[in-house]
Amino acid sequence: MNGADSEVGRLETVLLHRPGAELKRLTPRNSDKLLFDGIPWVGRAQEEHDAFAQALRDHGVEVLYMAELLDDALEYDDARQEIIEAVLRERQLGDRLAGQVRAHLEDLHPENLTQRLIAGLAREELKTGRGLVYGLMDRHDFVIDPLPNLLFTRDSSVWIGDRVAVTSLAMPARTRESLLTRLIYTYHPLFVGTEHLYEPWLEHVEGGDVLLMAPGVIAVGTGERTTPAGVERLCRRVFAAGLAHTVLAVPIAQQRATMHLDTICTMVDQDTVVMYPPVAGSLQAYTVTAEEDGELRIREPRPFLEAAAQAMGVERVKVIDTGLDPVTAEREQWDDGNNTLALAPRVAVAYERNVETNARLEAAGVKVIRIAGSELGSGRGGPRCMSCPVRRERLAALA
């Protein structure tokens, strides 16, 4: 059955997005807004991504690609209409241009529509464009914005138990990603009958902030992306669905370096995290549980690792830190050293460049599968951000 109850149960199926033409849209003028720190060499980024996917397959993981699933979902008229309406609502194209964009999109084959929805549409590519808005736009302006961050599939959805939470992304440059993700989970035959735990129009929650610490225990970071109201909404939803007994709400600094909880902490074993030392000691968590009447019970904040150990029913959570030298640790944290993807307990995929962190993982008994990420990393995301586990072997079944 699809779903997951941990970050470390044997990974069976994963959802990836192979980067493509959307990355070719990045320029020094728009990269900030599109949330990239550099201008990737697209061909090399694709090679790196293919090697990542192959490493997963070599370990028995089934790899699903977003664009392929979207092609299938967009065979359904309802799916097409839904997403075209959403694109037209995105910005003020004005009536005339909106009508022309609608006609353009309605004419496209599913594969071409997928491409447009991901890679966007520049004014100069809309040959049928006419009217004032069209006339005033620069030829390189986007009529439909590209989605270079679709690469980070963990942010737009996260499976909790047997349900999928399609998240609500906080940055305007990413909002369409969760609509596309929702189309897949709603219309694709692979997912018929899947219940949705969360929807893109609710308070902001991003999957990179959600950590399934153990069956029944979920940590949720709140900072630049997931809002306090998002955490509260997610708590209500998971408790109502009986998917967790405890949620740990973890405030994180509202900075780019720590945009998601998974930039400072990921799990590599049932009771072991890899964590960035400067924050490891200072992170706090509010422990949230459900009262009988469904209301939330919130306990005073306490150190995250203590709160987690208690909720998980272990004596302590083991910590592998990302280097003792503070400068190395800071560099490797920025390069997603903490952002590992576990394929099973004590087996994790990591960027090869984080030499020190990987050595520490190995010294602690974790098998590290190294992948190249010099180009992929310019979007500030590592193996965990670039993957949405759709199916993991359940840990609860082992207990």
Ligand X SMILES: NC(=[NH2+])NCCC[C@H](N)C(=O)O
Helices (H), ranges, the chain: 42-58, 66-73, 77-89, 94-106, 110-119, 132-136, 153-156, 175-187, 228-240, 277-280, 304-312, 326-334, 355-363
Taking alpha carbons only, the member of 256, 170, 168, 272 closest to residue 211 is 272
CA-CA distances (angstroms) from residue 352 to 232, 329, 335, 362?
37, 15, 10, 13
Q: How far is the CB of 242 from ligand X (least distance, A)?
A: 26
User: Shortest distance, CB of residue 137 to ligand X, whole angstroms?
Assistant: 26
Member of 155, 177, 335, 375 binding ligand X (CB under 6 A): 155
Residue 266 in tokens: 């990921």
Of the residues 235, 265, 385, 388, which is catalytic? 385
CB-wise, 35 or 247, nearer to ligand X?
35
Residues 186-245 that bind ligand X (CB under 6 A): 208
Contact 357, 334 (CB under 8 A): no
Output 34 or 133, the one with its CB closest to ligand X.
Answer: 34
In angstroms, give the least distance from the CB of 377 to ligand X: 10
Q: Which residue has the tokens 């400067």?
A: 278
For residue 375, state whether it binds ligand X (rule: CB under 6 A): no
Structure tokens at 81: 């209409």
CB neighbour class for 184 (10 Å; exposed up to 12, middle 13-18, buried from 19): buried
Contact positions with ligand X (CB under 6 A) in 255-294: 259-260, 262-263
Part of the chain binding ligand X (CB under 6 A), chosen from 112-120, 148-156, 213-221, 297-305? 148-156
CA distance 284 to 33: 31
Q: Does 152 bind ligand X (CB under 6 A)?
A: yes
User: Shortest distance, CB of residue 380 to ligand X, whole angstroms?
Assistant: 5
- Report how many residues bind ligand X under the rule CB under 6 A: 16
Candidates 312, 306, 265; CA nearest to 285 is: 306
Site for ligand X contains 379 (CB under 6 A) = yes
Task: Give the binding range for ligand X (CB under 6 A) out of 62-70, 146-154, 276-284, 291-299.
Answer: 146-154
Least distance to ligand X, CB of residue 170, Å: 9
Site residues for ligand X, 21-50, by CB under 6 A, read 35
Identify the bridge partners of residue 296 per DSSP, sorted by sequence position.
Answer: 290
CB 274 within 8 A of CB 268: yes
Any catalytic annotation for residue 385? yes
Considering the complex, state which of residue 31 and residue 272 has its C-beta at the smaller distance from ligand X. Answer: 31
Tokens for 366, please give them.
């974790």
- Note the residues at the interface with ligand X (CB under 6 A): 35, 149, 152, 154-155, 171, 174, 208, 259-260, 262-263, 379-381, 385
Task: Give the catalytic positions in this structure.
Answer: 385
